[in-house]
């Protein structure tokens, strides 16, 4: 749910299809004690890396909080060294001896969204971020890069990874209740999605599992998810909250909940997020997962979706089903919003630079920007006409009146 001054392209499924092409590779191989893919080696374990992203609009830093390990690797097992989209950042695991990339992933963060706000000009803050990687067989370097809104590196840090380091904690399975909502197959061969309870009281377990089923059903009812439903697992994770409901700061309401989510992120009424990312992953320790959907037990409208981080959405608003699909499109499919808030000065996108999201374009490229336009002006116009959209000139941007990812 991010503001944008962009051109919305109606061929929206291209990005989701690219993600499927990458994630489908999990069916190609299922390692045991160790797996070797594309000449790279890793253990059948998940390395969890907790980082703090800190700073302001003028200075950014990344620091290591901790590393831990759990049994089983549930991410992709092929195409490990490539990513389908650039994202707002990338994380690489590079073998220290050979220099070859063991694993690569792209992502976005709430921290980088915050950097585009007015508050970031005068205040420094820290944000939690967790990354899941396959545990390498040998000593490696973990490289994390954050990109600015022009696609240039604004921060880079390198952390050593020794798979035999005694201070990498081996975590036990989390003591929570779980239930498979949809099971396409072996977790090692499927895309594993965890649905987490947020703001459900001790007596609301049944209510949550029903809501989780509705969320999974809504996602799998849409293409291309429907076509590939046999490649998905959805597991519901129930952790009771002390209070029922979630926090709404503008109403002075603060709840004690499982992952501490709240509305009014960046002072935007409907932007629902959590800053307690470490707590989210603590709940999932030992479970097979690579993508997250957090269901908030509230009828207040809102949500949020951050690419390769999480989806968080209200579960009891009348628009629950389309909203959870919309937000999952952000977190899983790396899709951008296709609507505009009539704000001619959105700092998140540079009008003269091409955004990395595959379903939008500025149709413009300024020298120095790191990505060429996805399509030409003529081609974008042809696509809009073919899709039956009515382009509207609005503040130096042309918007598709019915963008497929509007909401």
- Say which CATH number the domain at 276 has: 3.40.390.10
- pLDDT of amino acid 150: 87
**Number of C-beta neighbours around residue 385 at 10 A:** 12
- 229 shares its domain with 286: yes
The answer to whether residue 346 sits within a structural domain is: no
Contact 36, 136 (CB under 8 A): no
- pLDDT of amino acid 350: 79
What is the residue range of 204's domain? 177-331
- pLDDT of amino acid 34: 43
- Report the C-alpha gap between 255 and 245 in whole angstroms: 7
Q: Which helix (H) or strand (E) holds 309?
A: none
**Which burial class, exposed, middle or buried, applies to 175 when counting CB atoms under 10 A from its CB (0-12, 13-18, 19+)?**
exposed
Contact 374, 11 (CB under 8 A): no
The answer to whether residue 98 sits within a structural domain is: yes
- 218 shares its domain with 269: yes
- 207 shares its domain with 249: yes
The answer to whether residue 356 sits within a structural domain is: no
Contact 163, 136 (CB under 8 A): yes
Q: Which of 304, 331, 358 is the last residue of a domain?
A: 331
Q: Which helix (H) or strand (E) holds 52?
A: strand 40-56
The answer to whether residue 343 sits within a structural domain is: no
- 216 shares its domain with 102: no
- 299 shares its domain with 159: no
Joined tokens for residue 127: 């944000």
The answer to whether residue 14 sits within a structural domain is: no
Joined tokens for residue 204: 């609301």
- 206 shares its domain with 70: no
For residue 182, give the nearest of 239, 133, 225 by alpha carbon: 225
DSSP state of 276: -
- 162 shares its domain with 190: no
Report pTM. 0.85
* 199, 211, 270, 316 from 299: Cα distances, Å: 12, 12, 12, 4
- Which residues of the chain carry a pLDDT beneath 70? 1-40, 339-347, 364-407
For residue 45, give the nearest of 298, 321, 285 by alpha carbon: 285
The answer to whether residue 183 sits within a structural domain is: yes
DSSP state of 167: T
Contact 78, 37 (CB under 8 A): yes
- 151 shares its domain with 45: yes
- pLDDT of amino acid 355: 84
Q: Which residue has the tokens 């790396």?
A: 334
Looking at the DSSP bridge assignments, the partners of residue 60 are: 55
Joined tokens for residue 281: 């992953």
- 140 shares its domain with 203: no
- 205 shares its domain with 315: yes
- Report the C-alpha gap between 365 and 224 in whole angstroms: 31
Please tell me the total count of domains within the chain.
2
- 214 shares its domain with 308: yes
Tens-place pLDDT, residues 210-234? 999 999 999 999 999 999 999 999 9
DSSP state of 64: E
- Report the C-alpha gap between 135 and 73 in whole angstroms: 8
């Amino acid at each position: 749910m991010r503001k944008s001054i962009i051109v919305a392209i109606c061929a929206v499924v291209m990005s989701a299809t690219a993600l499927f092409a990458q994630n489908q590779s999990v069916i190609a191989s299922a390692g045991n004690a160790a797996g070797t893919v594309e000449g790279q080696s890793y253990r059948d374990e998940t390395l969890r890396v907790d980082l703090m992203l800190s700073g302001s609009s003028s200075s950014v830093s990344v620091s290591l909080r901790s590393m831990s390990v759990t049994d089983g690797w549930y991410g992709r097992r092929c195409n490990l060294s490539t990513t389908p989209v650039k994202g707002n950042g990338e994380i690489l695991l590079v073998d220290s001896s050979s220099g070859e990339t063991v694993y690569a992933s792209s992502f976005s963060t709430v921290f980088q969204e915050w950097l585009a706000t007015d508050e970031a000009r005068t205040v420094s803050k820290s944000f939690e971020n967790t990354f899941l990687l396959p545990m390498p067989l040998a000593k490696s370097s973990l490289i994390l890069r954050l990109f600015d809104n022009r696609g240039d590196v604004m921060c880079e840090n390198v952390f050593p990874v020794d798979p035999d380091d005694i201070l990498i904690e081996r975590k036990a399975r989390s003591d929570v209740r779980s239930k498979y909502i949809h099971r396409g197959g072996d977790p090692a061969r499927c895309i594993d999605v965890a649905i987490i309870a947020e703001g459900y009281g001790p007596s609301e377990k049944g209510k949550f599992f029903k809501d989780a089923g509705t969320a999974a059903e809504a996602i799998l009812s849409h293409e291309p998810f429907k076509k590939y439903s046999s490649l998905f697992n959805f597991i519901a994770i129930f952790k009771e909250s002390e209070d029922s409901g979630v926090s709404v700061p503008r109403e002075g309401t603060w709840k004690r909940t499982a992952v501490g989510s709240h509305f009014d992120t960046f002072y935007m009424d409907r932007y629902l997020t959590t800053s307690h990312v470490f707590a989210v992953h603590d709940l999932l320790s030992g479970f097979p997962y690579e993508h997250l959907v957090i269901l908030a037990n509230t009828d207040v409208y809102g949500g949020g979706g951050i690419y390769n981080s999480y989806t968080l959405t209200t579960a009891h608003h009348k628009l629950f089903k389309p909203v959870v699909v919309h937000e999952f499109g952000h977190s899983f499919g790396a899709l951008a919003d296709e609507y505009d808030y009539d704000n001619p000065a959105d700092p998140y996108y540079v009008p003269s630079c091409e955004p990395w999201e595959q379903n939008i374009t500025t149709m413009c490229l300024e020298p120095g920007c790191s990505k060429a336009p996805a399509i030409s002006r003529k081609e974008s116009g042809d696509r809009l006409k073919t899709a039956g959209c009515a382009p509207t000139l609005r503040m130096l941007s042309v918007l598709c009146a019915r963008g497929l990812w509007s909401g």
